[in-house]
Chain A
Amino acid sequence: MTASLDTSHLHDVHLWGALRPLVGGATSIPMRAATIRELFRKLSDEYPGMEAHIKRGVAVSIDGKIYRDQWDTVLPAGAEIYLMPRVPGG
């Protein structure tokens, strides 16, 4: 399921509140990425402070389905991408 670069699409990546200050307050940022891995890498490279959040745990909602771990998960064209805190359970 590993995607190559040529399958990457431009996404409007929505951020939850805690991440917004790191991108200057925006609720979403445009970002081209094929996979969660690429998305995380680019976020870490471009926005100082983002890496710490990602290390602590960020979940990625892709069209409402929440992914927590798998980096090679593909970000399909036109998908709604939402970054959320990782939630623990009981």
Chain B
Amino acid sequence: MSVKVSTTINGDAVDFVCQPDEPLLDVLRNRLGLTGAKEGCGTGDCGACSVILDGRLVCSCLVLGVEMEGKKLETVEGLADGPKLHPLQQQFIDGAALQCGICTPGFLIAAKALLDKNPDPSEEEIRFGLAGNLCRCTGYDKIVRAVQAAAKEMRGA
């Protein structure tokens, strides 16, 4: 039996109905048209579906839609400020930090969660901060560099 849920996504009040056993990822993609979060595994092992739930980085495949009642969610669709890209988004483009791009939304969200808590991370902190996100194309080199560049830009350095 479907459940009605009221929540906040990227600052907007959103109501939806879903099945009680439906993962948040499916709700976002199939019911709300927010296909930026990707399903790479559905088991929390790839990070492609990363979202920020009440300030914490989580895999949306490991959250039930029904748990969203009264929560606040940030997804990749909310990262840019109108036409102005988030520094992470711009640095990923400028630094060629994406090849196929399927993992990119997850990396951007994970990187944002990292920088929200740690504005000046070391290379090691970036690498471990992003270790929950799999990328098969880049060898992570340019991703780490893009996050470093964005962090620097955001610190105003």
Direct A–B contact in complex, judged by CB atoms less than 8 Å apart:
no
What is A's interface to B at a CB cutoff of 8 Å? none
